[in-house]
Amino acid sequence: MSMRRRTRQTLPGARAGRRGGLLLFVLFFASFVLLVLSRLETGSFRTLRGQAADMLAPVLETASLPGGYLRQVRERVSDYFLLADELERLRGENEELRQWRWRAEQLDRRLAQMRSLLHAVEEQALKYATGRVIADTRGPFVRSILVNAGAAQGVKTGYAVVNGDGLAGRTILVGEQASRVILLNDLNSRTPVLVGPSAVRAVLVGDNSAEPLLEFVPDGAGLFVGDEVITSGDEGLLPRGLRVGVVSAVNGSRVRVRTHATLSQLDYVSVLFFDSPMVVAAGRAGPAGGKAAVSATGRDAERERLAGALEEDRARAGPAAGAR
């Protein structure tokens, strides 16, 4: 009798334990299944993630406001204490920049003359949309940000993202109101670049550290610390000549680049509307080139006509000033 009673008492506990164990097994199994699916990264998976980012964007945008405000206050306080020194520095810089502006205008005129003499093909004028960074990533393998500019603002996948200092990354997922940007130091980031005065071709490869690596450097290429790194525009994915960074360390075949943009402290960034020349060409080729490409090009042309010369000037004077 007493045995039976004891059995009755222990049974619910044992059942709950078994149920708990089964639930844990199911959840661990679900984690692994998700990891495998994530690794395979199918199109629908990407779409779902884009939609999730889009849905969460307003929450993140609101939540990031106090942080942004605090950062501004901190910057203002530090600016206040460094005001005199900063003013002196800015005066000097202003003088220098005036000379540079005059020289740039002169060179611009000469360049226009040369281009007309050579009948060179006109380069795309860079337009852009500026957005605020509303989320950052955490983890051992992803370096990306979420920006509150999406398809509604004209952003598409693969567009270059810059801040006032230089290239930061490119868009990989575009929602209606927000876009995910892969940063230059992300493990999956590959950016064709030109290095130094001799314009050595290489590929900037992220390894999740603060300073990405240069790979596929031709044998015998002389690279030195301080060499400027700019985008090469190879494969037509990014515009040519965007400032990227400078060579910071050369250890045998390992060359590291310190990016001009501080990738861990991005605040406002601009997405450059640069469609691959191949896509544009496919669009011009007619319906065989693909309907999406045609309509996109058509829209762009329409927008260009409407925007006019003022828009082009703005685009040249804005963050694209980083573009040479």
Partner 1 sequence: MSRLSAISLLSAGVVVSALPLGLPSDATFVPPMLMAALIYLFSVLRPALPAWIAFLVGLASDVLSAGPLGYWAFIFLLVHTLAVQWQPPPGLGFAGLWSMFVITTAVVSLAGWLVACAYFFGAVDWQPMVLGGFSASALFPLLAWPLRRRLGLARAIPVAG
CA distances from 297 to 103, 269, 281 (A): 35, 24, 9
Select the span of 136-144, 161-169, 243-251, 297-305 touching partner 1 (CB under 8 A).
Answer: 136-144
Q: Determine the Cα–Cα distance for residues 151 and 177; give it in Å rounded to an integer.
A: 6
Does position 267 interact with partner 1 (CB under 8 A)? The reply is yes
Select the span of 134-142, 220-228, 232-240, 288-296 touching partner 1 (CB under 8 A).
Answer: 134-142
Residues that bind partner 1 (rule: CB under 8 A) add up to a total of 56
Could you say which of 72, 264, 299, 313 contacts partner 1 (CB under 8 A)? 264
Could you say which of 35, 83, 104, 152 contacts partner 1 (CB under 8 A)? 35
Q: What is the DSSP string of 54-117?
A: HHHHHHHHHHHHHHHHHHHHHHHHHHHHTHHHHHHHHHHHHHHHHHHHHHHHHHHHHHHHHHHH
Q: Where are the alpha helices (DSSP H) in the chain?
A: 2-40, 43-81, 83-118, 277-284, 291-317
Instruction: Locate 206 and state its tokens.
Output: 């992220």
Does position 217 interact with partner 1 (CB under 8 A)? The reply is no
Q: How far is the CB of 138 from partner 1 (least distance, A)?
A: 5
Residues ≥6 apart with Cβ < 8 Å to 298? 283
Q: Which CB, 27 or 118, lies closer to partner 1?
A: 27
Q: How far is the CB of 216 from partner 1 (least distance, A)?
A: 18
Q: Determine the Cα–Cα distance for residues 19 and 26; give it in Å rounded to an integer.
A: 10
Q: How far is the CB of 62 from partner 1 (least distance, A)?
A: 10
Q: Count CB neighbours of 87 within 10 A.
A: 10
Q: What is the DSSP-derived secondary structure letter of residue 258? A: E
Could you say which of 60, 221, 294, 296 contacts partner 1 (CB under 8 A)? 60
Could you say which of 138, 220, 288, 309 contacts partner 1 (CB under 8 A)? 138
Q: How far is the CB of 158 from partner 1 (least distance, A)?
A: 16
CA dihedral over 261, 196, 119, 287, signed as positive or negative:
negative
Rounded to the nearest angstrom, the gap between the alpha carbon of residue 40 and the centroid of all alpha carbons in its chain is 23
Q: Determine the Cα–Cα distance for residues 308 and 312; give it in Å rounded to an integer.
A: 7
Q: Which CB, 140 or 218, lies closer to partner 1?
A: 140
Does position 134 interact with partner 1 (CB under 8 A)? The reply is yes
Site mask for partner 1 (CB under 8 A), range 287-306, x = bound: --------------------
Residues 67-106 that bind partner 1 (CB under 8 A): 67, 71
- Chain residues in the site for partner 1 (CB under 8 A): 16-17, 19-21, 23-24, 27-28, 30-35, 37-39, 45, 49, 52-53, 56, 59-60, 63-64, 67, 71, 133-146, 173, 180, 185, 187, 207-210, 263-267
